[in-house]
Each structure stands twice: as C-alpha cells, then as structure tokens.
Amino acid sequence: MSNQVNGISKRLIVESPNVKLVDGVLESKFNYRKNHFEHRADGLHVTPKEHEYSFKTVLKPRKTGLLLVGLGGNNGSTAVGSIYANQYGMTWRTKEGSNQFRHPNCHCAPWLRLGAQNQIFVPFKDIVPILSPNDLVISGWDISNSNLYDAMARAKVFEPELQEKLRPFMEPIVPLPSVYYPDFIASNQGDRANNVIPGSNKLEHLEHIRADIRKFKQDHELECVIVLWTANTERYTDVRTGLNTTADEILKSIGSNEYEVSPSNIFAVASILEGAHYINGSPQNTLVPGIIELADRHNVFVGGDDFKSGQTKFKSAFVDFLVSSGLKPECIVSYNHLGNNDGKNLSEARQFRSKEISKSSVVDDMVKSNQILFPDAKNPDHCVVIKYVPFVADSKRAMDEYICSIFMGGKQTFVVHNTCEDSLLASPLIYDLAILTELASRVTYKDGDDYKPFHSVLSILSLLLKAPVVPPGTPISNAFMRQFSTLTKLVTALAGFPSDTDMQIEFFTQ
Ligand code: NAI
Ligand code: DG6
C-alpha cells in the first residue's frame, strides 16, 4: 500500500500482531471499547466493556458498474463528465484567465488523519484498497432521451471549453428508457418525459429493468453492480400493511399493479432481485420496510436517503458544534434558491415536502443527544424554504440563520451564506457512495462464531446522506464528525490498528 506525501512515496506498513494477509484477504482483530451505562436508584453506573471483533477484507476491489437512475440530469451528466475529464487528464480555461488551466481535482473518498502528533494524512485507498472513480463502468436510465453532451450543456455546470473536450465521450451516451409514473414527480416534468418504457404494467416494468441490469452486468463482465437513484425527487409513497411493509407485500403489490408503487420502488426491487446494491440519493421514502426485508433476504445492501452535499452538510457539523459547546440552537431558518431542474421539480408541494423532511431531520440526533440543553427533547424551530429561480441555474444559494440561547439569557445569531454549483457537490458523493458500498461488499466480520456481512441497510454511508436509513431499531447518527469518525475508525480497524485517541496526553504530562 503506497501513498504520496509531498511527492515522496510512502508505504503504510501496519506492524501489529492483530493483522495478517492470507491469500489476498486481510484478516484483522479489533478491540471495540464501549462503556456500558445504567441508571439505578443510587446513580448512573458505568462499566467499561471491551468486545473483540475480527474482520476479513478481500483486498482486490471488484470490477464494478454503477447504474444511475437520472443519468441525464445535472448530477448524472456532471458525474459522468468529471470521470472522463479525470481519466483523460483534461484541462480547461475559464474567463478568469486564459493561462490559468483548471483540472479535475478528483480527491474522491476521503483521507484520514492517522497520527495526531505528526499530522499524518493518508487517503483511504492507502489504508484499504478501494476503487478509483476512474474504475467505475457507468450507465443508466433517464426519462429524457437527451444524449449526455446535450444534458451537460443543459445543466450549465461545466465551462464551455471543457464541454467541448468532453463532447466525443458524452455525445454517444444516450440513457436507457425508464419507468415514468407522472403522479410521483412534479407535473412540470412532463415535457421531459420522452424516453419512457411503454405500457402501464408494473410487473413488466420490473422485468424490463431487471433485464437492463443483467445485460449491463454481462456486457461488461462485472463482479459488482450498484444502482443509484439520482433522478427527480418523488413524493412519498404510502406505507401500509398489505402494500409494502413486508417483502412479500411489495412483490405482490408490483404484481397487482398497485398505484402506490413508485418508480423508485421498481428500481430498488429490480436491483435487489438482480443482486445489485441500491442507493437512494433523493429524499423520498423508497426504502419502505418491505424493500428492506427483501434486501436482507437477498444479501444486498441498500442505503439512503438524499445526498448530504451543501447546506445540510454544514448544518450537521455546525449544530453539533453548537450543542457540544453549550450554545443552545433555538431557531434555524434555511432558505434556498436554485434554478436547475431539481429546483423546478421541488417547486411543487409534494416533492418539496419530501425534501423538507430530509433537510429538517438533520438536527434530531443532536437534540436527543443532550438532555441538559434540551431537557424536554423539543427540537429548535426549524424552517426550510426552497424557491425556484431559473436565472441562477445550478448555482444554488443557501442562506441560514441560527439563533442560540447563551449565557445569562443572551442570544447569539449566526448567519451563513453558501453559493455553489449543486451538482459539483453531489457528484463526488455519488462516487463515494459507490466506492464505499463496493468496499463493504468485500468485508465480513465476526463477533461470535461465524463471519457475516454487514447489515443489509448500509448505515456506514450515513456521512454522505441527509436522512440516513439505518437498520431497524438502531439509532440514527446525523452529526458530521461522529459519522466521519465511524467511517474512519472502521477503515483503520479493517487494516488492523485502532485510530489514535485525540487525548494528546503526551503534551500535558511531559
Ligand atoms: P435533475 O432534475 O437535473 O436530474 C434528474 C434527472 O432524473 C432528470 O434528467 C430527469 O429527467 C430524470 N428522471 C426523473 N424521473 C426519472 C425516472 N423515473 N427514471 C429515470 N430518470 C428520471 O436533478 P439533479 O440536480 O441531478 O438532482 C437529482 C436528485 O438528487 C434530485 O432528487 C435532488 O433532489 C437530489 N439531490 C441533489 C443534490 C445536489 O446537491 N445536487 C443534493 C441532494 C440531493
Ligand atoms: C434545494 O435545497 C434543493 C436541494 O435538492 C438541495 O440543493 C440539495 O438537496 C442539497 O441540499 P443541501 O442541504 O445538502 O445543500
């Protein structure tokens, strides 16, 4: 495993009896320390506990295909274009200077600070091997038949010079026809839907998508396929007994053409039945209990919901900081305006409601985590506004006001303004979600007798998602640094060494 630091090649060599390499499989042992707390009549009892986990990680990443639902959208075309730009080392100029060439900056999958003392940063890929975005074979579906050159031009994300350099790669790509049930996305999307699988029989639609996945896998000789929804935000579907609360119910509902089965339900079920992992990058409640049970039955990962890209990512770090430092958030008001097709779709009430739920849920765990600041567990007033303003296109503006109660009844107000091309924030999350899912598919763990895969609801993806779906009965973690820590500690555990604690005891004891 090698790593470039300041141009010097470094190898990460783990010197520990807790790790060995056997036939391409890294076997590691990890001592998980977690205190046990119990409220009793005489007080809060704490018992330090240790639990040994063993991991096996197949080191060689699998040949992986990524199928995007919504391939021709802003995120889809940006994700594909940026991979070509990276693969071919493309450079381009902007109006800021004819000699200032830009290049892809593709630092996907985060890096890790390994050593507190020496500030040693190492990319994930040098701790356990992971795919590069360049390795992903990408295809997908869209209800719009625009080729990806036209889609990229429509998205207005890349500079014109880059668009022209990408043209020979993007123009030949036309998304596969998709499933379109107009009631699930905004009515203003109707004029885009010219690439639709005919008919209205949901079972036939399911079989069509399953055949697409099988063909993709065979054509490219793939070992792993991931289907990721980056299509329009849908309205919520009903969740009720008889419809979708068990695996058998959702299969039966597709067979009987139930109205409430959404296009994203069809994609999720098709993926699971084909052994492809399914990730929901949008906020709708695709991952109903029946789909989760089906994923479990087929040993397939599902993850969601809704990419955590800009305003919410900041919020999930900032509110945690406020609560941790004793400032009590009382009121959070988050305005957004954007002019891309996502904004247009969200301008209708039911699609906005899906997004409002995912954007608002992101402070829940921080409130619940601190009964001193929030004794009644009442969330701050939290208002989310999204407006469609075509002129700003993909350059989303997000404005937040946070008001906190502080010392002696005072108030502290923070105002944040964030402007960025939305798709430049979301596209790297698409790769990271795929790369981490593929990594998870190579890991098994043992805390008893037998090695098992992770739970089919892949909650380690939470870092990248606004409203993480977690295994039934487990807590949701929204706070950014907590989520980051889960992931980074897992990666070092797989490699056979525990992350440093950040106590820095050596500096105040010498
Ligand atoms: P977009 O509107 O540009 O792209 C969505 C694409 O999906 C369109 O090309 C549309 O024709 C297609 N589509 C709609 N229904 C479909 C179906 N049933 N099958 C196949 N294709 C279908 O939107 P954008 O900006 O790419 O965002 C995609 C999704 O990601 C949205 O739901 C958005 O809310 C979500 N998201 C975006 C973030 C960002 O930062 N850009 C962050 C968080 C979530
Ligand atoms: C308005 O916020 C439109 C949304 O689709 C967002 O742009 C997207 O979900 C990103 O949200 P955030 O809160 O992570 O910036």
DSSP 382-414: EEEEEEE-GGGTTEEEEEEEEEEE-GGG-EEEE
- Of 305, 309, 358, the residue with max ligand 2 atoms within 8 A of its CB, to mutate for a pocket test, comes to 309
Establish whether residue 305 lines the binding site of ligand 2, counting it when its CB lies within 6 angstroms of any ligand atom. no
For tokens 């036209």, the residue is: 150
Establish whether residue 398 lines the binding site of ligand 2, counting it when its CB lies within 6 angstroms of any ligand atom. yes
Catalytic residue among 126, 344, 396, 400: 396
Other CB atoms within 10 A of residue 145 CB: 17
* Amino acid at site 72: G
- Alpha helices, H only, 263-421: 263-273, 289-297, 311-324, 341-345, 349-360, 364-368
Residues 6+ apart with CB under 8 A from 159: 92, 93, 94, 102
* Amino acid at site 206: L
23-35 exposure pattern, b = at least 16 Cβ within 10 A, e = fewer: eeebbbbbeeeee
pLDDT at 5 over 50: no
Which atom of ligand 1 is least distant from the CA of 141?
20
Using CA of residue 281, residue 286, residue 289, residue 292, what is the dihedral sign?
Answer: negative
What pLDDT sits at residue 7?
Answer: 43
Ligand in closest contact with the CA of 396: 2
pLDDT tens-digit map of 393-430? 999 999 999 999 999 999 999 999 999 999 999 999 99
pTM: 0.94
Question: Separation of 422 CA from ligand 1 center, angstroms?
Answer: 11
Residue 313 appears among annotated catalytic residues: no
Q: What is the ipTM of this complex?
A: 0.98
* DSSP-derived 3-state class of residue 359: helix
Mean pLDDT score, 124-150: 94
Q: Return the closest-CA partner of residue 112 out of 503, 441, 493.
A: 493
pLDDT at 121 over 80: no
Question: Separation of 313 CA from ligand 2 center, angstroms?
Answer: 10
Backbone region of residue 504 per phi and psi (left: phi > 0; alpha: psi in -120 to 50; beta: other values): left
Which atom of ligand 2 is least distant from the CA of 283?
9
Integer CA distances (angstroms), 116 to 120, 317, 487, 496, in order? 7, 20, 17, 18
pLDDT tens-digit map of 320-365? 999 999 999 999 999 999 999 999 999 999 999 999 998 988 888 8
Establish whether residue 312 lines the binding site of ligand 2, counting it when its CB lies within 6 angstroms of any ligand atom. yes
Alpha carbon distance 429, 66 (integer Å) = 13
pLDDT at 52 over 50: yes
What pLDDT sits at residue 57?
Answer: 96
Give 1's pLDDT tier (boundaries 50, 70, 90): very low
Ligand in closest contact with the CA of 426: 1
Residue 306 appears among annotated catalytic residues: yes
For tokens 């296109």, the residue is: 393
Give 297's pLDDT tier (boundaries 50, 70, 90): very high
Question: Separation of 304 CA from ligand 1 center, angstroms?
Answer: 14
* Amino acid at site 308: K
- Atom 5 in ligand 2: residue holding the nearest Cα: 342
Alpha carbon distance 290, 286 (integer Å) = 10
DSSP 124: G
- Of 340, 355, 399, 419, the residue with max ligand 2 atoms within 8 A of its CB, to mutate for a pocket test, comes to 355
Question: Separation of 142 CA from ligand 1 center, angstroms?
Answer: 10
Choose the weakest-confidence range: 94-98, 276-280, 404-408: 94-98
Mean pLDDT score, 232-252: 97
- Alpha helices, H only, 72-227: 74-87, 148-155, 160-170, 202-219
* DSSP-derived 3-state class of residue 352: helix
Integer CA distances (angstroms), 302 to 23, 163, 271, in order? 29, 33, 10
Mean pLDDT score, 302-330: 93
Ligand 1 pocket, residues with Cβ under 6 angstroms: 69-70, 72-76, 141-144, 178-180, 185, 192, 230-233, 263, 281-282, 306-307, 309, 340-342, 345, 422-423, 425-426
pLDDT tens-digit map of 427-450? 999 999 999 999 999 999 998 889
